[in-house]
Amino acid sequence: MTAKTKTQSGNGKKSLPSHRLYLVQERPGGKAHWIEIGAAWPHKDGDGFGIRLNGQLTMRPRKDKDDGDEGL
């Protein structure tokens, strides 16, 4: 998805997203790698956003073992 991604608005016109979504991966040496994963459009009433993601999200139950993700 790029900044040129468009979506239908309520009036039949296409609009550009107001924001892009990124996955930021920390790398050794302190340089982060930013991967664009989607885009967001503000709701007409100004309260929140519609979000379109590239790919698929999957949710799985947490295991009882300590997997080091307490900070999430």
Task: Establish if 61 belongs to a structural domain.
Answer: no
Please give the tally of structural domains in the chain. 1
Record the tokens describing residue 19, joined without a space. Answer: 């924001």
pLDDT in tens, 12-70: 678 899 999 999 999 999 899 999 999 999 999 999 999 999 988 788 999 877 656 65
Q: Is residue 3 part of a domain?
A: yes
| Domain enclosing residue 9, as ranges | 1-40+51-56
The reply to whether 46 falls in a domain is no
Give the model confidence (pLDDT) of 11-23 as tens digits. Answer: 667 889 999 999 9
Domain-embedded: residue 30: yes
| Contact between residue 21 and residue 13 where contact means Cβ atoms under 8 Å apart | no
